[in-house]
Chains A and B, each alone.
Chain A
């Protein structure tokens, strides 16, 4: 187990370094230079030269990368010239809001998708299974912004049940004081995620239903309730742990769209604004943070997986 852990952590570190290289590469190969981006198109050559020297852009590329890495390690994610604020302070403000949106949606999606997928597997090719298959198919074939818009039309324009705009305000506490406004953004993200997760769960449960241990349990006379809860559910959940970890980038992609649509001032919204304004330090800083979160999330999922399933640690070591 220790060896497996060590190898997995080493891999994660390599991946994070590669992500920083990719991001640095994109930053470096940008058309124009950071100097142009900050000082504007009318900057004099002298000003640009001074800026480049002051910020270390005159050094050799590997040195620049090491400098960038050094900044990253010390928590310096860069400075947004457009917002005149450090990326770290922007992040500190916005991460909790996105974490709330994504976390709530993730939790709700799991609570809904696990029973749904299980029920589908148990009633495979019956009307209930087909109904949810259609729902799931349409769910992940629909542009997410359109789904959100339809929810706005029905629940906020027609029936005046929930506001069409997410909670405003700089702090995450605004979201707690205005929970009504969180309903539609969370619902949009949850529906799409359920479409994905219920599919995973159905497949995993069907796979397990074909295994010998289920037949053995049935032969022993285990009741259906016991069979489902003790044998099927527990074993089907195993691969879901990893899949859920790997789905984090997918859900975060969705969060960008949802935040843009509902005007929710979180990370995704800021990223979207930064993309429109060519605010590269923000784009780079956020990409790094999200990628690290994903790598760590996957690492934790894998460790949890190894703890739950002895086969993994034995085959790995």
Chain B
């Protein structure tokens, strides 16, 4: 039966009935290799990975090659159209837009990745503990998850953002803290299934220690789900950061992210300064699409059932 909460934030989820066929533990290594092969055979997944690598290079290596002034404003060169010295023009305080996109990309990617790591970290521990302990602890932990699901993410983020002093670091904590819920549910569901599988019972009967069972059988099977969810969480965190910047609660200058650039640019939408809007918007959409494609492809690659079709 479909567990609805599992698919709610990843609309690409393939819902299938029945229990997943788990690869036997001895085949784990070759199963991973097969999965990697599957992933590389998926054009969209490769495209996603490619875009992510390009965006990372653009943001982190770009400034080393393309030197621009991104600290001091220069009011003698505001809102210049692209051309000549400025391939993508300048913004309302005289920063080079191309160079600014690189610096902004650094925070967007950093916040996205770090928030995703925090989110899946909390989520995995929460879900695994809940499933392993069971009983009333499980019930309480899952009701907490239900309670947090009931509060819209943007609401929760706004609430927390009013409490902390906005900076790149606090944004990472806030976004990480609001995004762990789906992972917790996914991990709990998977661990509950894994515990009852024959080969896990068999290794318990064979006298394997619990720690070894967890490391060898459970972690290996859960890690795929967590990796897929982490990819989606990066996409979500980048979008949430942009939304927060639009609502005026993002990290203030001198910090800059793509969402903040886009928001500032939108003030000039009626002046025709397209170079302040479309490049930043395109960076966000491309990066978020890329992470979603990679997540979808990774999930398909790890899904044994899809492989047979």
Contact = CB atoms under 8 A, between A and B. Distances in A.
B73 interface: no
Interface residues of A, number: 66
B289 interface: yes
A188 to B, nearest CB: 13
Interface stretch (B97-105, B112-120, B127-135, B158-166): B158-166
A38 interface: no
A231 B270 CA distance: 51
A114 interface: no
B143 A26 contact: no
A26 B150 contact: no
Nearest to B153: A253
Interface string A227-266: 0000000000001001100110110111011001100000
A145 B243 contact: yes
A11 interface: yes
A291 B247 contact: no
Interface in B148-195: 148-156, 158-163
A50 interface: no
Contact of B2 (A199, A239, A272): A239
B269 A199 contact: no
Interface residues of B, number: 55
B289 A137 contact: yes
Contacts of B22: none
Contacts of A157: 270
A287 B14 contact: no
Contact of A204 (B15, B277, B293): B15
A39 interface: no
B289 A138 contact: yes
Contact of B243 (A14, A144, A153, A286): A144
Contact of A203 (B7, B17, B259, B293): B7
B36 interface: no
9 contacts: A15-B143, A18-B147, A140-B292, A143-B239, A157-B270, A204-B15, A246-B8, A256-B152, A294-B149
Given A137-B293, A143-B262, 11 more contacts: A11-B146, A18-B146, A141-B284, A142-B285, A143-B259, A145-B242, A243-B4, A247-B8, A250-B9, A278-B162, A315-B1
Interface of B: 1-2, 4-5, 7-9, 11-17, 143-144, 146-156, 158-163, 235, 239, 242-243, 246-249, 259, 262-263, 266, 269-270, 277, 281, 284-285, 288-289, 292-293
Interface of A: 11, 14-16, 18-19, 22, 26, 29-31, 136-138, 140-146, 149, 152-153, 157, 195-196, 199-200, 203-204, 206-207, 210-211, 239, 242-243, 246-247, 249-250, 252-254, 256-257, 260-261, 271-272, 275-276, 278, 280, 283, 286-287, 290-292, 294-295, 298, 311, 315
For the complex of A and B, the 4 pairs showing the least CB-CB separation, nearest first, are A199-B11, A253-B154, A18-B147, A141-B288
